[in-house]
Amino acid sequence: MRTYFIAGNWKMHKTRSEAAELAKALVSQLKDGKQKYLVAPSFTALETVGNIVAGTNIMLGAQNMAAEEQGAHTGEVSVLQLKDLGVQAVILGHSERRHIYKEDDELINKKVRLALKHGLEVILCVGELLEEREAGKAEAVCETQTVKGLEGVSAEDLKRVTIAYEPVWAIGTGKTATPEDADAIHAYIRKVIGKLYGEAAAKAMCIQYGGSVKPENAAQLMAKANIDGALVGGAALKAETFVPIAKFA
């Protein structure tokens, strides 16, 4: 049985005081939760939120990291700095990083391998654009991003990787893939993992759905056989919307 993994990506929202308020509410309301939980605040709030969630059932995540351990990389944040703040996992390959900031599969893979080298868990995001889905290329895009994103990752390190399927056309738009459509892509990604690492690894792989997940649709999505959780954006910014998603069961 795979554990459901519900992660909140706060993106570029929340001052430290606002982040602290939300983190305290989540710690209080999720202390009896049955699932695996993570919050990923902005870099500026990592220490503040980390101190609040330390020792609880909520993991501390970062939204991105540099592809190098250290050096002359103005404006970047390194894996060493994240670990120093108590970060346990990092989101990599998010569609906003791919399409707005032009991160390619090679760069994302470099980040994935570096994060795993330093003991972090990784949420690797994959997903197609609307025009790619309409052209019948959704599976091919997700396969390419998965294969290239995991290049050089060992079967042992794969145990610390979660795949997040996030159709780009459903992020922040209010549109959501139907549970059936989402499950179909999740099943396909699981087949790709099976080809790369074997059937046991494919069965064990946690695959989240991300794309306008809301309290109203969380249970229906999570009921599908291949959907193992959610990477939540907008609905993660308030306890009253994130908690019902986190406690869908």
Measure Cα distances from 233 to 9, 94, 119, 132, 228 in Å.
Answer: 5, 11, 25, 22, 17
Say which of 103, 128, 166, 186 is annotated catalytic: 166
Q: Give one DSSP letter per residue of 169-221, joined into a string.
A: GGSSSS----HHHHHHHHHHHHHHHHHHH-HHHHHH--EEE-SS--TTTHHHH
DSSP 64-90: ---SSSSSS-TT---HHHHHHTT--EE
Altogether, the residues listed in the chain come to a count of 249
In angstroms and rounded to an integer, the radius of gyration of the C-alpha atoms of the chain is: 17
* Spatial distance between the Cα atoms of 36 and 164, rounded to a whole number of angstroms: 14
Residue 106 annotated in active site: no
99 is catalytic: no
Which residue of the set 94, 96, 103, 121 is catalytic? Answer: 94
Active site residues: 94, 166
